[in-house]
Amino acid sequence: MNWIEITNEAQLSEVKTLSNAKPQLIFKHSTRCPTSSMAKSRLERGTSPEGIDFYYLDLIKHREISQKIADEFDVSHQSPQVLLIKNGECVYDESHSAITMDEIVEQSAA
């Protein structure tokens, strides 16, 4: 899996713009949380679908960006959390052990 690291708030505008052409996924990860590490590992072991860009946010390093994501996409903050962005809006979000690649694939096709 090729993660695109989110390191600044300007990238959120890029995600929204790119989501008009293809789905964008943001994975909010706490490097201090075993559940978050498990979710990340599960995603990396899964088969990544073609046509989705996968973004990674280290929310310990970038707490302010994590909060901006929650505000920008009108979701409550969770960790770990995935957000699927299509046409500039979050169409799916999930957290903790409910994060699965199969669900991401299904939601991206909807």
pLDDT at 49: 87
Q: Are 73 and 90 in contact (CB under 8 A)?
A: yes
pTM, 2 dp: 0.95
Measured at the alpha carbon of residue 81, what is the angle toward residues 6 and 21, in degrees to the nearest 5? 60
Separation CA 63–CA 2 (nearest Å): 22
Report which DSSP code applies to 22. Answer: S
Confidence (pLDDT) at 16:
97
Q: What digits encode the pLDDT tens for the residues 44-72? A: 998 888 899 999 999 999 999 999 999 99
Which residues, at least 6 apart from 35, have a Cβ–Cβ distance to it below 8 Å? 80, 96, 97
Provide the pLDDT for residue 26: 98
- Domains of the chain: residue spans and CATH: 3-109 (3.40.30.10)
Low pLDDT (below 70) residues in the chain = none
